[in-house]
Amino acid sequence: MAVESNGSAEKHSVVYDVPEIKFTKLFINGSFVDAVSGKTFETIDPRTGEVIAKVAEGDKEDIDLAVKAARNAFDHGKWSRMSGFERGQIMMKFADLVDKHTDELAVLDAIDAGKLLSSGKMLDIPDSANVLRYYAGAADKIHGKTLKMSRELFGYTLLEPVGVVGHIIPWNFPSGMFFSKVSPALAAGCTMIVKPAEQTPLSALYYAHLAKLAGIPDGVLNVVNGFGQKAGAAISSHMDIDKISFTGSTEVGRIVMKAAAESNLKVVSLELGGKSPVIIFDDADVDTAVDLALLGILYNKAITVSRTLNGEVCVAGSRVYVQEGIYDEFVKKISVKANNWVVGDPFDPRVQQGPQVDKNQFEKVLSYIEYGKRDGATLLTGGKAIGEKGYYIQPTIFTDVTENMSIVKDEIFGPVLALMKFKTIEEAIEKANNTKYGLAAGIVTKDLNVANRVSRSIRAGTIWINCYLEFDRDVPFGGYKMSGFGKDDGLDSLHKYLNVKSVVTPLYNSPWL
């Protein structure tokens, strides 16, 4: 793939030896196995549209086998019964193995998901290992409470692992999402089945291999590749799974929740879609605001000095509201930067933005660009596909946008930004909240009073002030409204995988209660 920018194209040849794909089968009960049906499906390189490998296609029968293994490991195995310290030691070893294989894992996410190789090596894979370490450190700090009873009784609570967990993870952060789900569940003592997105199964299978090497017992961590309509549906409706943790679209989240309710009323946590606003006030430094706005919409497949950045992220700052006093200057500066943004092969270190994950997502993003034009928005930059091979799209910015347009209302999951003007704080708050979603928001201002007022007025799970996309393993992440419920990251995530049990016994002849 040649390296291109919106304004001009500089052609380069990128040569990188893609390693042998070692793991393509299902991982069930500690072994790599073929699907019961013998079926496979192709995983595609979004850089070229070509086939990387054929991987086993799991179905209901395979989910049944994985659940049986996980249930046996939970009910009769040692993982949930060993001390938290012992679990933590094994998880630390798992993290060390991830670090040891960083280069190969970063390549897998680059060829499978279009992630920038440089950001995978510097951020995605090391951060994933550190998430494991964070929860490994928490594994021996899971405590109940001693209760002050009102009568002659002694009471306390126990925190116990919820049981068998089904993790259904998306394709935009194959490694990060794997460990944000798996790590707290392992620390809690749960066993699990992971269904990676059908677009990006390769790194999840590699992590299953490393888990085995680290000493995680057979049956504790199972990975079943497959499609949502079959493997995902089988997890959601399975009578012997105790909890579902799902990250994906709001539409699919509804289906997962319904299946969970209609089966065994299993516990569900959902991290769903977003249409996050970034509000930029007159007192903001315009250059800083432009950088944050581009970071907010291009995050995931592009890179800045300190962050990996294409729009395939649920918290993409796809609605940018700029106060009228600096609006014109902001438009000029963001146009220049977007037109010089470098799009191309994620293996090339000069590239700032890689491809969309697959043909379907590529075509979806392009269709929304056409909707924006049709609805009367003005195309400021971008708006076109790049090259004849692969799924590359120019960073696209629309102005003259109104709140009823589909590019403002719908989650696009691509490099498309709607730029709008506002006058007052009240107007900005009203527009920011004018969405069915509530995942995140950004505020750019030098006025602490404004920052406090707006952050408390926006109905969203995460607010970034004078920064954007500053995730951390200690910061709980999750949404309001139709962006879902339940938190990933932080100790809140650990508690998703624990049940509270109350224990009460009488006190006889005690001198005090």
* CATH classification of the domain holding 211: 3.40.605.10
> For residue 140, how many other CB atoms are within 10 A of its CB?
15
Residue 311 backbone zone (phi > 0: left; psi -120 to 50: alpha; other: beta): left
Tens digit of each residue's pLDDT, the chain (513 residues): 444 544 433 434 454 667 789 999 999 999 999 999 999 999 999 999 999 999 999 999 999 999 999 999 999 999 999 999 999 999 999 999 999 999 999 999 999 999 999 999 999 999 999 999 999 999 999 999 999 999 999 999 999 999 999 999 999 999 999 999 999 999 999 999 999 999 999 999 999 999 999 999 999 999 999 999 999 999 999 999 999 999 999 999 999 999 999 999 999 999 999 999 999 999 999 999 999 999 888 865 444 433 444 556 888 899 999 999 999 999 999 999 999 998 999 999 888 899 999 899 999 999 999 999 999 999 999 999 999 899 999 999 999 999 999 999 999 999 999 999 999 999 999 999 999 999 999 999 999 999 999 999 999 999 999 999 999 999 999 999 999 999 999 999 999 999 999 999 999 988 877
In angstroms, the CA 241 to CA 192 distance is 9
Instruction: Tell whether 406 and 441 lie within a shared domain.
Output: yes
Instruction: Tell whether 228 and 311 lie within a shared domain.
Output: no
Task: Tell me, yes or no, whether 6 lies in a domain.
Answer: no
Task: Tell me, yes or no, whether 144 lies in a domain.
Answer: yes
Instruction: Tell whether 289 and 352 lie within a shared domain.
Output: yes
Instruction: Tell whether 282 and 268 lie within a shared domain.
Output: no
Contact between 178 and 196 (Cβ < 8 Å): yes
pLDDT of amino acid 12: 40
Task: Tell me, yes or no, whether 467 lies in a domain.
Answer: yes
Task: Tell me, yes or no, whether 195 lies in a domain.
Answer: yes
Give me the CATH number covering residue 371.
3.40.309.10
Q: 1-26: b or e for each residue (b if 16 or more CB lie within 10 Å)?
A: bbbbbbeeeeeeebeeeeeebebbbb
pTM: 0.93
Task: Tell me, yes or no, whether 414 lies in a domain.
Answer: yes
Instruction: Tell whether 328 and 235 lie within a shared domain.
Output: no
3-state secondary structure of 448: helix
pLDDT of amino acid 7: 40
Task: Tell me, yes or no, whether 511 lies in a domain.
Answer: no
Task: Give Cα 503 to chain centroid, integer Å.
Answer: 37
pLDDT of amino acid 314: 85
Q: How many domains does the chain have?
A: 2
Structure-block tokens of residue 170: 């998306």
Structure-block tokens of residue 370: 């056409």
Instruction: Tell whether 342 and 261 lie within a shared domain.
Output: no
34 CB contacts (<8 Å, ≥6 apart)?
25, 26, 56
Residue 435 lies in domain = 277-472
Catalytic residues: 271
3-state secondary structure of 133: helix
pLDDT of amino acid 509: 86
Instruction: Tell whether 164 and 309 lie within a shared domain.
Output: no
Looking up tokens 């016994």 gives: 505
Strand partners, 161: 498
Task: Tell me, yes or no, whether 337 lies in a domain.
Answer: yes
> For residue 398, how many other CB atoms are within 10 A of its CB?
26
